[in-house]
Amino acid sequence: MRKLLFVLLFAVALTLTGCHAADPLQMDTVSKTESTSAKDVQDTHSDLPEAESSSASSVQDESESSLVAAESKPAETSVPSQNTEPTAPENISSGTTASRSEEKPPAETTPVKPEPEPEKPVPDTPEPVPVEPNATAADSSKIADLVVKYINDYRTAQGVPTAAWLPGLTGYAEYRSHQLISNFAHDTDDERAAATALQYGDYIDPALYGMTGEPYYTANVREAIAKGGYTGMIDEVAQSLAQLVRNSSSHWSYVGSSEYLYIGVGVTYESGMWYCDIALSRENYG
């Protein structure tokens, strides 16, 4: 019986040793199982005599020693963790790992040219306003027309109808303005001479009235005469001449009267002086 037990234990020990050598990963499980089997064998033969129990114990110890010896070899082998990734082998020639990604050279970037600063707008230089030159003798007729305008503006301002411009009467006033250069006066002979030269107005034959003398013309007008050494543009000279007559109460009493419905103005420039004749008439002689 003792021999049978020893053979049984020895066979178990050999089996365990072979198992440990084949599968080191299951070492702990087998060790626990064999340890339990040995204990069961001991418990099974607990009813044996004391001497037999000692023999079984020695066999158990011997068996356990074999187990420890068998277990010590695979224990030295480090079991790799199942969760650990395998380390890539080193590249001996380069000293770098084979799994290391090759470093790419930095991408070439095209230098960005700075945008030029917007040009500041150059302020437009205002064009010089042309200055109208001072009026000259060639502007006499233009000045006369503007004098008519200003006289009628003054008449309208005081509620008097405007006076109608007549070309024949204007010719007469121009003739008179030339006469004013040498004789600045209301002269009857000059007035008759102007009308006779132009054959403007009423024809008069003294013989028809039992008088002697040559026939003549009369314009039958009232006139206002003015002169001034004004300088400036056309409009400025015209306004100055009209204002001069307007400011004279004796002249304006008939120039601004509704009794006279027709007007003609003549202007002449001589030696820095403007001579103006404003002729008004009740009759339309054209």
pLDDT on residue 212:
92
pLDDT on residue 58:
36
C-alpha–C-alpha distance, residues 17 and 176, integer Å: 160
Q: Which of 146, 132, 133, 134 is nearest to 267 (CA)?
A: 146
Q: Output the pTM of the full model.
A: 0.56
List of residues 6+ apart from 222 with CB closer than 8 A:
254, 255, 260, 279, 280, 281
> In terms of DSSP bridges, do strands 216-218 and 202-204 run parallel, antiparallel, or are they unpaired?
antiparallel
Return per-residue pLDDT of the chain as tens, 286 residues.
Answer: 565 666 666 665 555 554 444 444 443 433 343 444 434 434 444 443 343 333 333 333 333 333 333 333 444 444 444 444 444 333 433 444 444 445 566 566 666 667 777 777 766 777 777 777 999 999 999 999 999 999 999 999 999 999 999 999 999 999 999 999 999 999 999 999 999 999 999 999 999 989 999 999 999 999 999 999 999 999 999 999 999 999 999 999 999 999 999 999 999 999 999 999 999 999 999 9
C-alpha–C-alpha distance, residues 165 and 279, integer Å: 10
Tell me the CB-side half-sphere exposure of residue 212, using CA atoms within 13 A. 0
Phi and psi dihedrals of 65, rounded to 5? Answer: -65, -40
